[in-house]
Amino acid sequence: RITRYAINGDYVDEIDGFSIPSAYFDCGIDGKGDLYVGHTSKHQVEKYDGNHELVEVWGEYGSDPEKFCGCCNPTHIAVYPDGNVATTEKGIPRLKVYGPYGNLLAYLSPEQLGLSPDPHFLKQLQENSDGSLPCHDGWPGMPLAVSKNLRLAVAIPGTGEIKIYRMDG
């Protein structure tokens, strides 16, 4: 659930009804104050206005570039001031930028991100005591942030690297 509080900490209201089957539940706010939420079990991004009313939903399950594949994606989102939304996924690491209504504007595959599904590469990630990797079915999620000058920072787990991208045009 998403809970809203006043600046003094008083409870205001909440949005309920999310089914989040993993550790990933990300959100961001655009320049108008609209809230974007990665609803991972539905493979969707949901947009809520300042009154917490659902005003836009986009995304669906699938392996095509514009869709979200695997379990529990998108894991991370970052919202540009104009409402464009960047997403990353776990399992198959992919970076995408969508327009405010879900149209795919940019896509980087694992290879374009410089990543490999090779098991020795994944061993750089810290394993759980049982040997499994935490909270994913392949690559873990890749945290994102958008700067005020519209650069997109993407943290790459296991590599100790943050990659910076910008949309031209």
Query: Rounded to an integer, what distance in angstroms lies between the CA atom of residue 78 and that of residue 147?
Result: 10
User: What is the architecture of the domain spanning 2-166?
Assistant: 6 Propeller (2.120)
Contact 37, 27 (CB under 8 A): yes
Q: What angle (nearest 5°) sits at the alpha carbon of residue 42, between those of residues 165 and 27?
A: 45
Reported as a single tens digit per residue, the pLDDT across 2-56 is 998 999 999 999 998 898 888 889 999 999 999 999 999 999 999 999 888 999 9
Q: Is pLDDT at 162 greater than 50 in this prediction?
A: yes
Question: pTM for the complete prediction?
Answer: 0.84
Q: Which two tokens stand for residue 59?
A: 């995304």
- For the chain, the structural domain boundaries read 2-166
Which ranges constitute the DSSP H helices of the chain? 119-122
Contact 87, 45 (CB under 8 A): yes
